[in-house]
Amino acid sequence: MQQTLNPWVTRPTADEPAEETRAAAVPPAAVISTPLRGMIEPDAADRLASRSMAGTARLWVVGTHGGAGESRIADLIESARSTDHCWPVLPSGGSPQVLLVCRADMRGLTTARNALTQWASGAAPQVDLLGLAVLADAPGKTPKALRDFTALVGGGAPRFWTLPWVDAWRHTDTTAMPAVREYQRFITDVAALATATN
């Protein structure tokens, strides 16, 4: 009978493989870049609606719930527009570039998971999903359970970013670029992705 390592023991016994050997056998993390066959779509009540969009944008920002921050993110990225919590459908029939946005609370992460499941199952309209941006829902450190759930949900997106709380937005100009390194890197990444795929 083969036994697994006891998590409370710091060293394996002589007859068990070393941790480095076990790590080498673990397959790499999955990367989801297109919808997957066989994925079960979420219940109709948990899906985002689709909406025909007038006008153009290089990037469509889709909030997965009310208060997700989609308008704020759309204001920060050049040539981006928010969709009011709907998948964009272009009159031309093309595949719009989409960035999903949610807050880092249980409700926000659950709606993001549902939207990613809808996309991965093929139940969403044809879009080019760039990734998921998870905005902090409060100042301070995010609780471990929510950090773990964020990593789990973010794993279902082609890319994901976690963005910190910006206290200045509560008191000053809400369209100003935050002087936070994570936001600057995020905006640079998204702009480069949107340009590269256009």
Residue 131 and residue 101 in contact, taking contact as beta carbons nearer than 8 Å: no
The C-alpha atoms of residue 138 and residue 162 are separated, in whole angstroms, by: 13
The size of the chain, in residues, is 198
Please give the model's pTM, rounded to 2 decimal places: 0.79
Model confidence pLDDT, tens digit, residues 8-19: 545 555 555 444
Does residue 98 sit in helix, strand or coil? Answer: strand
CA atoms within 13 A on the CB side of 87: 21
- pLDDT at residue 110 greater than cutoff 50: yes
Q: What is the average pLDDT across 41-53?
A: 89
Domain ranges of the chain: 38-193
38-193 folds as Rossmann fold (3.40.50)
Give, for 103, the enclosing helix (H) or strand (E): strand 97-103
- Tokens 């040539």 label which residue? 79
Nearest to 154 by CA among 179, 183, 129, 184: 129
* Band (20; pLDDT cuts 50, 70, 90): very low
The C-alpha atoms of residue 41 and residue 192 are separated, in whole angstroms, by: 31
Average pLDDT, whole number, for the chain? Answer: 83
* Band (31; pLDDT cuts 50, 70, 90): low
- pLDDT at residue 145 greater than cutoff 50: yes
| Max avg pLDDT among 23-32, 41-50, 167-176 | 41-50
Q: What is the average pLDDT across 54-73?
A: 93
Q: Which residue has the higher pLDDT, 49 or 28?
A: 49
Nearest to 65 by CA among 128, 106, 11, 107: 107
Q: What is the largest CA-CA distance in the chain?
A: 67
